[in-house]
């Protein structure tokens, strides 16, 4: 049942590169990562590609397939027409290392800039009590597999290298939202620093990030928009702002 | 090597899975300078794929649970071949390790009272697995990843540089543990990105490299599971214990071919999934072994009642330990009662509603829907055994995780042996990573504080560098991809779930043949992110692991846990007293017998003597444990 698949692969490095055409067997049920691996094993032993779980759980195999940011292990070959050429290219928002592998260190640097979780010191291990419904809001964001597809697609950095310094990107907006909604986190002012230090204000809610998220995290609706609304609220409402100094949950910082 | 990239650390941790990260946190909190090295990006280690949960007897769902019950379950699961002390420490310390994660920001699913929820799993007497839907590993790894960032932020405040005291070196493969004067002195490896070499000098090295699944054809493991740590330890002079024991998880995907082996979490059965053959028969009732007869229901009515009333009914046989279920599925398929694609059926749709399935097993739903076109809220899944976990591993001192025989070397997590005996219970790995990751961090820290620096000599560097260069200097040699495929074929057919002496003998010869040819592997392309080159090194490790497994397996003339001999079908109490120790003489792996440490009286007394009689010799029973 194997069929001949036309695959166009970007090969090269930071200095130069281009698309190369190959024809490769594709079997029933295979995903794009399978055929890339077959090319690697039979035609291009040194073709560079990242992967780990092959089940959409680790976020390693991010690339652009026919121009769309996708996980190669969750993209069925059968989703494309029999005569269609499938084009695979590296994530565009990050510098190429080689072939389909890009330098995603930008994301790890941003991760280090988000202030860590602060546990209430008086709560000893095992004493925490939280309702399921209260942890679920943050759990949605903790599903993130760090594929960085949302980062790749966000136009604020995709087309503007210069914005990278001041813009953390959707992956880290949900990290901030997650901590902000964490029932126990003690650190205040997370929304305000999101706005002032991590570039939340540069997001103009195009929702492209939400569309590409393989975990279907509602990045814009559940994280970005609520944070933006409350930042605005708080900036102009001195009384509520005062409230935040007293109780984190109800008063917005 | 004048321009070699070099670093100095107190402790080097090889591996950024649960065990490595937990070890690194401990060593940093003890005041040391720590490097974390991993082959993939940070946060992508195997641990991230763990689904079901982490076992800890917190007693949140059934207050009857405590460390003693967990200890008993673990020993039973391992058929009493476990190192008793490891099983004891693990059972006692797991709850603290889970609660500690909560203080670092982890958000587990909750009970109605707001405590950490716990779910049922095979071999665990009470609901015991702390979990987050079916993505518990992700929660573990992200929590520790973020804890490391927290430590880095503190160092940033204290020292002006976030990476001054703990730094992650991602996409770097270690190829050598270097010793000087009989003690660990550092590690050597290459950056995957550009093939350039790196030396780390450190008096203590913690191996936390995970498993060996890639040695086999059908596996739930990723490309990383190539037994690097097992091989590095062997070559450094450490021992591997009981490498014949491999866990074939009963439920891997079987269709389509490209996903064959990918895991279907045991939580599916924990949540009520049942196994049937092509006759629609719920076959597990036929496969309850004598030692478990009093704990598992032998009829459907009772098994079904258990979901509602666990105190007055025995549990369904789908929840037997993994080795039993995997063998049962294997027998059904062999007898011609399998599914179309050579598996059996696993169905959860009949017992729980679509909504609950999607809530409790979201990633399973997603996985089957996207990859197999199966909607598990309506249809059964096709499943079959897949190579999942290695019980065997580096022989360690239980309390410190120090590798026996090599000062300065430590091992924790899946790469360490002893804890799980001949078969691991689901959920006991994630807790193992936390308990022994921490202990390895403590052990290494204490060691470093006592011993001074141990500089690496130029000759050691030269030797390590030559090894990396070798495959590039050959041309027209063997292709590492095809050798790897050949090895997988051999292990699958001859060292797999059911073994015979004849086949194992054959396997040992074949593995030796492949190993010989692998000395002649050549690599096309340059050093820059070149998977062919990477595989050449991984292959070398897998070959040593496979040799150790086959040679241990041929010696053990009985069937126990993750080792089934068609020619020796029963369990034999004499063999329970034996560990198989693999060592490496520079040329080949040698396997010898060593007495299993005797279980002390206070732990012996936790069991009913009649149960122990099923496992132990009359002399052992008469002694009643060591004092
Ligand atoms: C699909 C799946 C589901 C599972 N579900 C569960 C579950 O629900 N509950 C449970 O308890 N267990 C489960 N397990 C088992 C458990 O996840 C693993 O045993 C455990 O995560 C291993 O952790 P580790 O820290 O020992 O190693 P890993 O997480 O495997 O990490 C190994 C690390 O070592 C690094 N490394 C390896 N070799 C080198 C080298 N040469 N140089 C540098 N770095 C190297 C790797 O890059 C990686 O960072 C599951 C396993 C799988 C595959
Ligand atoms: S919604 Fe905001 S963060 Fe998301 S892609 Fe658009 S601009 Fe970027
Ligand atoms: S939020 Fe979604 S798209 Fe973005 S990194 Fe996480 S999983 Fe990927
Ligand atoms: S390989 Fe893990 S998400 Fe694709």
As a whole-number percent, the residues of chain B with pLDDT over 90 amount to: 84
Pair B485, B433 in one domain:
no
Smallest Cα distance from B129 to chain A, Å: 15
B608 lies in some domain: no
Of B386, B415, B442, the position where a domain reaches its end is: B386
Any idea where the domains of chain A sit in the sequence? 3-102, 105-246
Please check whether residue A62 is in contact with residue A149, taking contact to mean a CB–CB distance below 8 angstroms: yes
CB atoms within 10 A of CB B485: 12
Q: Kindly give the distance from the C-alpha atom of residue A161 to the centroid of ligand 2, in angstroms, as a whole number.
A: 15
Confidence check: pLDDT of A248 > 50: no
Catalytic residue of the set B76, B131, B165, B249: B249
Nearest CA to ligand 3 atom 4: A150
B563 lies in some domain: yes
Q: Please indicate whether, in this complex, the C-beta atoms of A130 and B110 are within 8 angstroms of each other.
A: yes
With 0.90 as the threshold, say if the pTM is over it: yes
- Work out the mean pLDDT of chain A and round it to a whole number: 90
B418 lies in some domain: yes
**Residue B386 CA from chain centroid, whole number:** 13
Summarised one tens digit per residue, pLDDT across range B342-397 is 899 999 998 889 999 998 888 899 889 988 889 999 999 999 999 999 999 999 99
How many domains, chain B?
Answer: 3
d(CA A243, CA A240): 5
- What does the pLDDT read at residue B2? 62
Torsion angle defined by CA atoms of residues B610, B612, B618 and B623, in that order, rounded to the nearest 10 degrees: -110
CB-based contact (8 Å) between B182 and chain A? no
Q: Kindly give the distance from the C-alpha atom of residue B109 to the centroid of ligand 3, in angstroms, as a whole number.
A: 21
Summarised one tens digit per residue, pLDDT across range A51-67 is 999 989 999 999 999 99
**CATH number reported for the structural domain that contains residue B365 in this entry:** 3.90.700.10
Residue B336 CB partners (closer than 8 Å, separation 6+): none
- Considering Cα of A223, then A225, then A231, then A233, what sign does the dihedral take? negative
Summarised one tens digit per residue, pLDDT across range A119-175 is 999 999 999 999 999 999 999 999 999 999 999 999 999 989 999 999 999 999 999
- What does the pLDDT read at residue B57? 98
Interface test with B, best of A46, A91, A115, A178 (most B CBs within 10 A): A46
Q: Is A136 helix (H, G, I), strand (E, B) or coil?
A: helix
Confidence check: pLDDT of A249 > 50: no
Torsion angle defined by CA atoms of residues B530, B531, B534 and B538, in that order, rounded to the nearest 10 degrees: -170
Query: Per-residue confidence at A233, pLDDT binned at 50, 70, 90?
Result: low
DSSP secondary structure letter of residue B478: B
- Considering Cα of B416, then B421, then B426, then B431, what sign does the dihedral take? negative
Describe the strand order of the beta sheet including B166-170 as a list of residue ranges: B166-170, B34-38, B11-14, B204-207, B409-411
DSSP secondary structure letter of residue B185: E
Confidence check: pLDDT of A234 > 80: no
Q: Kindly give the distance from the C-alpha atom of residue B316 to the centroid of ligand 1, in angstroms, as a whole number.
A: 29
Pair B105, B157 in one domain:
yes
Summarised one tens digit per residue, pLDDT across range A188-229 is 889 999 998 999 999 999 999 999 999 999 999 999 999 998
- CATH code of the domain occupying A105-246: 1.10.1060.10
Confidence check: pLDDT of A98 > 90: yes
Please check whether residue B60 is in contact with residue B47, taking contact to mean a CB–CB distance below 8 angstroms: no
Summarised one tens digit per residue, pLDDT across range B576-627 is 999 999 999 999 999 999 999 999 999 999 999 999 999 999 999 999 888 7
CB atoms within 10 A of CB B335: 10
Domain residue limits at B113: 5-24+32-246+389-458
Of B386, B413, B435, the position where a domain reaches its end is: B386
Confidence check: pLDDT of B91 > 80: yes
d(CA B599, CA B605): 10
Residue B466 CB partners (closer than 8 Å, separation 6+): none
Q: Which CATH number fits domain A3-102: 3.65.10.10, 3.10.20.30, 1.10.10.60, 1.20.1250.20?
A: 3.10.20.30
β partners of residue B521: B478
Q: Is B261 helix (H, G, I), strand (E, B) or coil?
A: coil
- What does the pLDDT read at residue A244? 45
As a whole-number percent, the residues of chain A with pLDDT over 90 amount to: 81
Could you tell me the CA-to-CA distances from B56 to A7, B370, B411, B435 in Å, in that order? 48, 33, 22, 11
B450 lies in some domain: yes
- From the list B99, B168, B258, the residue facing A27 with the nearest CB is B258
d(CA A233, CA A228): 9
Query: Per-residue confidence at A1, pLDDT binned at 50, 70, 90?
Result: low
β partners of residue B563: B560
B627 lies in some domain: no
B263 lies in some domain: yes
Q: Is A118 helix (H, G, I), strand (E, B) or coil?
A: coil
């Amino acid at each position: 049942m194997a069929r001949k698949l036309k695959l166009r692969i970007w090969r090269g490095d930071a200095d130069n590169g281009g698309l190369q055409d190959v024809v490769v067997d594709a079997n029933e049920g295979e995903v794009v990562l399978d055929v890339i691996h077959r090319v690697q094993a039979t035609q291009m032993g040194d073709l560079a590609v990242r992967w780990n779980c092959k089940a959409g759980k680790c976020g390693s195999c991010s690339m652009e397939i026919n121009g769309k940011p996708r996980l190669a292990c969750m993209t069925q070959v059968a989703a494309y027409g029999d005569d269609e050429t499938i084009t695979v290219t590296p994530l565009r928002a990050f510098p190429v290392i080689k072939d389909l592998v890009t330098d995603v260190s930008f994301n790890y640097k941003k991760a280090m800039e988000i202030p860590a979780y602060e546990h209430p010191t008086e709560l000893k291990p095992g004493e925490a009590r939280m309702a399921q419904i209260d942890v679920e809001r943050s759990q949605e964001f903790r599903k993130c597999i760090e594929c960085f597809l949302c980062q790749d697609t966000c136009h604020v950095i995709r087309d503007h290298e210069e914005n990278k310094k001041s813009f953390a990107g959707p992956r880290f907006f949900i990290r901030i939202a997650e901590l902000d909604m964490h029932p126990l986190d003690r650190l205040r002012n997370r929304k305000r620093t999101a706005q002032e230090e991590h570039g939340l204000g540069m997001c103009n809610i195009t929702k492209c990030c939400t569309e590409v998220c393989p975990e279907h995290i509602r990045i814009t609706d559940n994280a970005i928009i609520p944070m933006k609304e409350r930042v605005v609220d708080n900036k102009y409402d001195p009384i509520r702002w005062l409230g935040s100094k007293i109780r984190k949950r109800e008063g917005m910082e | 090597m004048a321009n070699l990239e070099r670093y100095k650390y107190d402790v080097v941790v090889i591996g950024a899975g649960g065990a490595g990260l937990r070890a690194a946190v401990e060593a940093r909190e003890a005041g040391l300078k720590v490097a974390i090295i991993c082959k993939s990006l940070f946060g992508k280690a195997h641990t991230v794929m763990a689904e079901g949960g982490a076992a800890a007897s917190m007693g949140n769902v059934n207050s009857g649970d405590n460390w003693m019950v967990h200890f008993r379950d673990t020993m039973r699961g391992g058929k009493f071949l476990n190192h008793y002390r490891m099983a004891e420490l693990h059972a006692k310390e797991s709850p603290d390790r889970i609660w500690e994660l909560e203080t670092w920001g982890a958000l587990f699913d909750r009970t109605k009272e707001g405590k950490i929820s716990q779910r049922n799993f095979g071999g665990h007497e009470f609901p015991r697995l702390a979990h987050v839907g079916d993505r518990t590993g992700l929660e573990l790894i992200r929590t520790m990843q973020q804890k490391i960032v927290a430590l880095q932020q503190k160092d940033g405040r204290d020292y002006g540089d976030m990476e001054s005291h703990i730094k992650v070196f991602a996409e770097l493969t270690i190829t050598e543990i270097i010793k000087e004067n009989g003690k660990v002195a550092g590690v050597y490896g290459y950056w995957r990105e550009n093939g350039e070499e790196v030396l780390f000098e450190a008096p203590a090295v913690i191996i936390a490299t995970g498993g060996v699944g890639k040695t086999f054809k059908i596996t739930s493991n990723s490309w990383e599971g190539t037994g690097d740590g097992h091989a590095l330890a062997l070559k450094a002079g450490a021992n591997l214990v009981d490498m014949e024991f491999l866990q074939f998880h009963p439920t891997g995907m079987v269709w389509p071919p490209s996903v064959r082996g990918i895991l279907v979490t045991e939580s599916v059965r924990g949540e009520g999934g049942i196994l049937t053959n092509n006759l629609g028969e719920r076959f597990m009732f036929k496969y309850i072994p004598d030692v478990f007869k009093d704990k598992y229901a032998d009829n459907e009515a009772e098994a079904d009642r258990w979901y509602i009333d666990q105190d007055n009914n025995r549990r369904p046989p789908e929840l037997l330990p993994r080795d039993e279920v995997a063998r049962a599925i294997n027998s059904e398929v062999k007898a011609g009662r399998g599914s179309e694609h050579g598996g059996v059926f696993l169905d959860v749709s009949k017992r729980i509603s679509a909504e609950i399935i999607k809530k409790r097993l979201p990633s399973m739903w997603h996985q089957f829907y996207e990859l197999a076109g199966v909607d598990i809220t309506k249809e059964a899944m096709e499943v079959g055994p897949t190579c999942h976990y290695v019980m065997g591993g580096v022989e360690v001192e239980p309390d410190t995780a120090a590798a026996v025989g090599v000062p300065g070397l430590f091992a924790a997590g899946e790469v360490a042996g002893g804890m799980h005996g001949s078969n691991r219970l689901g959920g006991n790995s994630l807790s193992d990573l936390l308990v022994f990751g921490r202990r390895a961090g403590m052990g290494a820290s204490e060691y470093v504080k006592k011993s001074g620096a141990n500089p690496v000599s130029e000759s050691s560097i030269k030797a390590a560098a030559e090894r990396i260069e070798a495959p590039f200097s050959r041309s027209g040699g063997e292709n590492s991809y095809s050798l790897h495929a050949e090895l997988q074929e051999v292990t699958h057919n001859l060292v797999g779930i059911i073994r015979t002496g004849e086949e194992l003998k054959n396997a040992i010869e074949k593995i030796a043949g492949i190993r010989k040819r692998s000395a002649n592997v050549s690599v096309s392309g340059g050093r820059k992110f070149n998977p062919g080159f990477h595989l050449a090194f991984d292959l070398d490790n897998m070959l040593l692991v496979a040799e150790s497994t086959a040679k241990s397996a041929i010696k053990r003339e009985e069937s126990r846990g993750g080792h089934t001999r068609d020619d020796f079908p029963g369990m034999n109490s004499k063999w329970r007293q034996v560990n198989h120790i693999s060592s490496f003489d520079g040329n080949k792996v040698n396997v010898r017998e060593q007495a299993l440490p005797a279980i002390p009286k206070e732990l012996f007394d936790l069991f009913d003597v009649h149960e122990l009689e099923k496992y132990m010799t009359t002399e052992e029973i008469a002694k009643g444990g060591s004092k």
